[in-house]
């Protein structure tokens, strides 16, 4: 059977013709290319791009671009068939507001350092925002013109750290940043000398301007959040320095689970040394031991620490769960103004200087121990002229600053 070719042509002409690929405008191609970059970012990192100055600049670009795409119906229509990740749905999971800034404006931050368009992710001589912030904070440090006022404070803190009166702890909370506090940041000890009024920044977060003095003789008027960021950036090296007494050191009453860990002892010497006999009623040796006080003083007459003489036990205070060395250093530092300055020859004729004897009446020692139990000893100082504890309103650092 023959078929007329014209009839066959007419029959086939009725079927749908294959569609030619639809050509897109340059604008549409640019929208698709930009969206594909966002898709690749999500595939590589497993999360939506986020805004914020601490983010990589391209992530900031993608976050801004995605937000703009979602808000433009024309873009959503073009990209709907390509959105296999569901990126056009919902809002960006941003911690901070989307920056009202174009891709070109963001890229302008690179200072023209971006290479060819096909090599856009290869940045040269460009610092991250975190590096820029760090550089700005370091650059903001200037010589502290009145550092002589602060120098004694840093010397005291260095000594107290060495003696165990203070210690360093990992920095955790922004609330720890207050006037009079010490921190270790960037390998330096930082002292918060002043703090301005607290306010809310553009992201609704509280902040304040600080005057921070460093132990290398520099200072910075940095923001509280800048100091917080620097401390966190240092990791375990970013530390807070504790106050001389961080709360009650021990309890006078043993709980069921507590273990006795030592005893404060107060001794009086039986030495015939003229200076000792002259001040016999108020001269006391104050120490801390983890064992029996009786055993500790058994060979006092042979020990220069005990003035090479027998002693009598005047008072004892049992400790619970306390670092003995730290507490002993604390007590000795507190009574430093009343320390006995004396040199005596040992059994071999060598002069020694006992350091644990103080011209302090027993009632003052008893009060100091009670203040330690309460955790309030830092609010007092010992007045050797009045032979009593004297309340001081400001902490030791503030007191030093007032001495001109």
- The H or E element spanning position 168 is strand 168-170
> pLDDT in tens for each of the 404 residues of the chain?
445 556 655 555 554 454 555 677 877 888 888 888 889 888 888 888 887 766 776 777 888 888 888 888 888 888 888 888 888 886 544 434 444 455 554 444 444 333 334 444 444 444 455 544 544 444 468 899 999 989 988 988 888 888 777 788 888 777 788 888 899 998 899 999 998 888 887 777 788 899 999 999 999 999 998 898 888 887 778 888 887 654 445 545 554 444 456 789 999 999 988 889 898 889 999 999 888 899 889 989 888 889 989 999 999 988 776 778 888 888 999 999 999 988 888 777 788 888 899 999 999 999 998 888 777 888 788 999 989 998 764 444 444 444 44
Total residues found in the chain within this entry: 404
Q: Which residues of 118-131 are buried (b: 16+ CB within 10 A; e: fewer)?
A: eeeeebeeeeeeee
Residue 72 confidence (pLDDT):
86
Phi, psi (degrees; rounded to nearest 5) at 69: -60, -45
Residue 286 confidence (pLDDT):
95
8 Å CB contact between 240 and 169: yes
CA-to-CA distance for 49 and 65, rounded, in angstroms? 10
Find the DSSP H helices in 141-292: 147-163, 224-233, 274-278
CA-to-CA distance for 397 and 155, rounded, in angstroms? 11
Helix (H, G, I), strand (E, B) or coil at 318: strand
Partner residues linked to 283 by β-bridges: 359
Query: Strands 210-214, 188-195: parallel, antiparallel or unpaired by DSSP?
Result: antiparallel
8 Å CB contact between 351 and 344: yes
Specify the pTM: 0.41
Q: For the chain, state the CA radius of gyration.
A: 37
């Amino acid at each position: 059977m023959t078929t007329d070719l014209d009839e066959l042509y007419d029959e086939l002409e009725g079927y749908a013709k294959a569609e030619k690929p639809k050509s897109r405008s340059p604008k549409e191609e640019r929208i698709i290319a930009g969206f594909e970059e966002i898709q690749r970012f999500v595939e590589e990192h497993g999360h939506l791009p986020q805004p914020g100055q601490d983010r990589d600049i391209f992530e900031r670009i993608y976050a801004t671009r995605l937000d703009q795409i979602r808000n433009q119906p024309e873009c959503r229509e073009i990209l709907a068939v390509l959105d296999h990740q569901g990126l056009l749905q919902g809002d960006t999971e941003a911690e901070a507001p989307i920056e009202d800034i174009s891709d070109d404006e963001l890229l302008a931050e690179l200072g023209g350092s971006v290479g060819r368009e096909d090599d856009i992710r290869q940045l040269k001589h460009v610092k991250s925002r975190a590096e820029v912030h760090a550089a700005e904070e370091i650059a903001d440090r200037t010589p502290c013109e009145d550092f002589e006022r602060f120098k004694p404070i840093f010397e005291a803190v260095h000594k107290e750290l060495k003696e165990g009166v203070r210690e360093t702890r990992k920095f955790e909370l922004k609330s720890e940043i207050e006037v009079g506090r010490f921190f270790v940041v960037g390998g330096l000890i930082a002292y918060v000398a002043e703090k301005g009024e607290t306010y809310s920044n553009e992201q609704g977060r509280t902040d304040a301007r600080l005057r921070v003095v460093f132990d290398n003789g520099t200072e910075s008027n940095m923001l509280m959040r800048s100091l917080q960021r620097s401390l966190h950036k240092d990791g375990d090296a970013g530390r807070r320095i504790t106050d001389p007494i961080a709360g009650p050191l021990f309890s006078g009453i043993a709980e069921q689970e507590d273990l006795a860990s030592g005893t404060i002892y107060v001794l009086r010497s039986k030495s015939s040394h003229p200076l000792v006999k002259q001040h016999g009623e108020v001269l006391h040796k104050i120490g801390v031991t983890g064992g029996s006080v009786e055993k500790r003083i058994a060979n006092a007459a042979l020990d220069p620490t005990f003035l090479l003489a027998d002693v009598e036990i005047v008072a004892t205070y049992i400790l619970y769960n306390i670092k003995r060395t730290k507490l002993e250093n604390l007590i000795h530092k507190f009574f430093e103004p009343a320390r006995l300055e004396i040199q005596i020859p040992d059994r071999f004729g060598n002069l020694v200087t006992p350091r644990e004897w103080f011209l302090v009446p027993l009632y003052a020692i008893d009060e100091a121990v009670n203040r330690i139990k309460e955790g309030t000893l830092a609010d007092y100082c010992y007045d050797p002229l009045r032979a009593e504890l004297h309340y001081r309103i400001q902490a030791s650092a503030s007191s030093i600053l007032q001495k001109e």
